[in-house]
Amino acid sequence: MRDMHGSSDEFSGSCLKEELLKERLLRPARDIRSILRWGYPKFSTIRFVADYFQLSPEERHILTRVIMPPDRVISRVNKKIACTAIKDRKLLLDGYNVLLSVDNLIKEGPMWFCDDGYIRDTRYYFSRAKQAEDIGEALAAVLEFLSENGPESVIFLFDAQISRSGELAGLTRHKLKEYKISGEAKTSKTADFELKTKGGNPENNIIVATSDGIIIDSVKEVLDIPACLMEKIGIEPIRLY
Tell me the percentage of the chain whose pLDDT exceeds 70.
Answer: 90
In order of 32, 150, 172, 191, 234, the CA distances from 28 in angstroms are: 6, 42, 41, 35, 28
pLDDT of residue 3: 46
Is residue 28 a contact partner of residue 67, using CB atoms and an 8 Å limit?
no
What is the pTM for the complete model shown?
Answer: 0.90
Phi first, then psi, for residue 164 (nearest 5°) are 70, 20
pLDDT lower than 70: segments of the chain: 1-14, 124-133
| Domain edges within the chain | 8-77, 79-239
Torsion angle, alpha carbons of 168, 105, 192, 210, to 10: 120
Please state which CATH class domain 79-239 belongs to.
alpha beta
Looking at residue 109, its amino acid is: G
pLDDT of residue 127: 52
pLDDT of residue 124: 57
pLDDT of residue 55: 97
